Structure 1
């Protein structure tokens, strides 16, 4: 029995490594995923863009703010001059947080009183907000210790007042559940479309389909429609569960949400059809879908911030449709953003959808000839 099992094992290994595609799939994808996980999957924040609204201008305020400028994890992006600029820098994601120093900050400290400092944090990404809040608290604690030691005082002279926008309690469920709408939509849509043409080839019915009166473009559209319909249905189902079961607030309009859903589903269908057109068997289609899904999720910012990734990896995220879709979802859910704010996320998604669908059509016709 052992000899038969050993012979069958050797036979399967030889069959696996005899195929060039199988050798490629066994060796290359794990290396790619290792590099992506190693560089992109990190919960540390190495680059926190922040803005400063210094309404005091005294030496104590300058000393405190200098500590943020000298901290390696903080990048000063803007100095604010008016109160209404705060909402602008957070809404456009130019800054993760805003440090507001009140007018009598230095005077209160010199007189021995407690001086508050307000930190306004973008709470749409609750994980990043909590990490940034801890970093800020660490710097303020260091300032307090130095101030007390230099003057022989007691107590904590600076009090930190933190307010998180769009997610006041920093509920991580709001962040992850809204992101799951994108993740589950991608998985289901990709699987449905990636297996469509490969299944026909493996079952031997693809040639029968070619002799029908249907033109290639009609066959391609017919293969696309199930993925589009199922993708929209899956997204709608997850949205309903997110709102009514997990109590995630849906602040925006359904028209904006479904525009983003449709653009993303078209892009996912295009990628799935490209994989299906290249794959000769169901196994190859499944492996191809897996090869795309894992990097797409890691590079999307689903769990780890894109700004924390190396510049070369950040460039790769520009061709990831899930990156733009997650921003649309979380902005509509938590912020109530409209078409004006999300146009810069929708047009790249539309381009990706157009390119992938066109490439899928070309591959489909090329494989038929």
Structure 2
């Protein structure tokens, strides 16, 4: 738009706004049931924006974005009006859901990563409720052990399927096998995961960490894609385990953090796309009793190792939640149709710090995870400090000290 061609329009606009200003009330708060009158300041602000647009020689898209910037800032004031009734609505709906959780007795639940840790405990929680289970993991022998215990707890029918969630063919196979065996699928629990603990700069070859994304992200996406038609048919639910690290960006876990952030955003998007056809619950747990908090992780070479000194250095003074407690909260959240779950709940305060004061969050993490030349020595010091002060027994379940960790 040429500046010269804008002047006639500007003249008309200025004249109209001047007339409107002359008739406007300085305060819009007076008056009864009549129409709201624009204040002088509001009219001046609108005139300024209009003048900027008409005098501009920039492309139309830039002009529109200039207006949207102005409008968006002012729309934030609506939050003061919107939030109170919104939270009343949230509390009301939560109360209704709490009063009537889903009865999963006889329903079919497929759980990935079910051979240990949180996945194993989720299987037991569903078994208590009488659900039929399809247990998936790479370690078939461990799955049969979990299946036997789940059957004793109360599950009427259990299917064990060995499979690798990072393999699309395996995902198709274990979903299809589940549907063929039970005739339906009601809940899909995406739980499988793998973590790395190493400084990014010390990694010899980043290609060694493709497996982190393959297991954590694609290992949830592939089963979901295969199971979705069956879940839509049953009006079922999807659970996916992201991580607090997706929000907090924990040092030494860059690949893991990225994969869990991808999981979080993918399933938020999927929830919008599916509308209400399939429920989706996303968990962002903190440190939970699992093989990872027992010291099992990927080293800087991308190989699996068990290093409890490194675990003590990474987990530090953060309390570790028992897997059973976490699984109980997860199954309860799924049955109540909750959108999000954070265990333990105090991590939500850390999420707010990360969002509202990111610089402060960065500084605190840099202090907590200091990188020095003697990193191995620091790991040993962390372990000795935890043991000498007796804090370790308070912060970590006794199972974390066990050397009996399932491999591959």
TM-score by length of 2: 0.23
Q: Compare CA radii of gyration and give the structure with the larger one.
A: 2
TM-score by length of 1: 0.25
Higher relative contact order (CA 8 A, sep 6+): 1
Higher helix share: 1
